[in-house]
Structure 1
Amino acid sequence: MSHRLYHTEGFVLRHLPRGEANKLLYLFTPEFGRCLVLAQGVRQEKSKLRPNLVDYNFGHFSLVRGREFWRLVSAEKDSRFTALYQSAEKQLIVANLFNLLAKILVEEEDSQIIFEDLVLLCQTLIELPPQSDLIPISERLFLLRLIKHLGYWPNEVGLTDFVETKIWSLELLKNLAEPALSQQATKVINHFFTTKIV
């Protein structure tokens, strides 16, 4: 019986070891949302796929559906976001967000808008200079939009413009950095984490 091969780009949010040589990947893709992918033999030193499946990598993947999990056929690392990991602050933001997404996204639920926002966030973080005051503001904007996309938006009037647009711009980030709006955004995010995240 032949299996249909699916090609997709995506982020490796995290992984779990499975057996002696395998990994179970939490892969975040535009087509399938968060999906669990079994990568066989990739923990072996000789595996050619091993360097492409490090946590937080972005890449291109070929998958087939299995009975319990997707199965990995091939993986190729895409280096467009590698510069993120030259900054400890940016790397920490990415790590925290990826772990959050691995935890809260429903498996194989349509998450294309969230994926697009994540790509835009990564691009923005790369463009911002180290120690920029807008780095944590970028994370805040992503979290606000994530809350909106997940259906938990509390209709905060002053913040509506930030979550209704698809635009990511320095002007938008600078506006969100205004003390009153920044404080309001922090309140919304903290409420989400204390009431929705267990």
Structure 2
Amino acid sequence: MHEIYNTEGIILSTGDIGEANKFITIFSEQHGLISATAQSVREIKSKLKHGLQKFTVANISMVRGREVWRITNVEYKQNLYYELRENKTKLKAMINILVLVQKLLAGEKYNERLYKIIRKSISFLKKNDLNREEISDFENIVIIRVLHNLGYFDENKKIGGSGVYKNIISTSSWDKELLEDVRNLNGEIIKDINESLAHTHLF
């Protein structure tokens, strides 16, 4: 009998297999970036269907197959797309962040801290009234935290004579003061982000 593994995860992408099955990419709390199949999920009667839509956060039960995981059960929690779709700027920022995570992660590797960075960030984005500038600052901060977590960004780098990067990276918490801290350094921050992204050789 196969051991069942349980984890919270965010559905990053889905693709059809045959007439009724789906291939799903998940950013999971316990196993990093994983590929999984869901059997008969496209059938009308499928109980898994609702919980496996793109950008859904869910508790997922799986068994390990020879090459990929197989999903056995899903407990729906929320869908980030539906929660942010009324604000196109917020929605775009969320999608950009999740696309970046999917590109940067190298397969199955436990990284609970990164998962919490993303979950806390999206929660802040969802709950707070932010203007376009603040959303842009928010996105830059998340990208810096993601890059640092994966070893691509130096927290000791100085910018504008300040240690703002250390302030950004030393915590996964959020407040509007943090957004204000990066506002006047926006041009330099974007330059440093682009340099770090270039070092990944993925962009």
TM-score by structure 1 length? Answer: 0.90
Report the equivalent of 2:12.
Answer: 13
Q: Is the 8 A contact 1:33 1:111 kept in 2?
A: yes
Aligned residues: 195
TM-score by structure 2 length? Answer: 0.88
Q: Secondary structure at the match of 2:85?
A: helix
Deviation (angstroms), 1:130: 5.3
Taking only aligned residues, the RMSD between alpha carbons, in angstroms, comes to 1.8
Distance 2:91 2:16 in 1: 22
Task: Specify every segment of 5 or more residues in structure 1 that has no aligned partner in the other structure, as ranges.
Answer: none
Give the % identical residues.
28
Distance 2:151 2:58 in 1: 29
CA distances 1:152-187 after superposition (whole Å, capped 9, x unpaired): 11442232221122322222122122x12x222211
Deviating 4+ runs (over 6 angstroms): none
1:88 matches 2:94: no
Distance 1:55 1:18 in 2: 16
Report the equivalent of 1:163.
Answer: 169
Report the equivalent of 1:42.
Answer: 41
Map 1:31-110; keep pairs closer than 5 Å: 31-79=30-78, 81=80, 82-110=82-110
Report the equivalent of 1:190.
Answer: 194
Task: Specify every segment of 5 or more residues in structure 2 that has no aligned partner in the other structure, as ranges.
Answer: none
CA distances 1:32-77 after superposition (whole Å, capped 9, x unpaired): 0111111111122332211211111111111111111111001121
Distance 1:44 1:66 in 2: 22
Report the equivalent of 2:178.
Answer: 172
Distance 2:98 2:42 in 1: 21
Mean alpha-carbon deviation: is it higher for 26-35 or for 87-96? 87-96
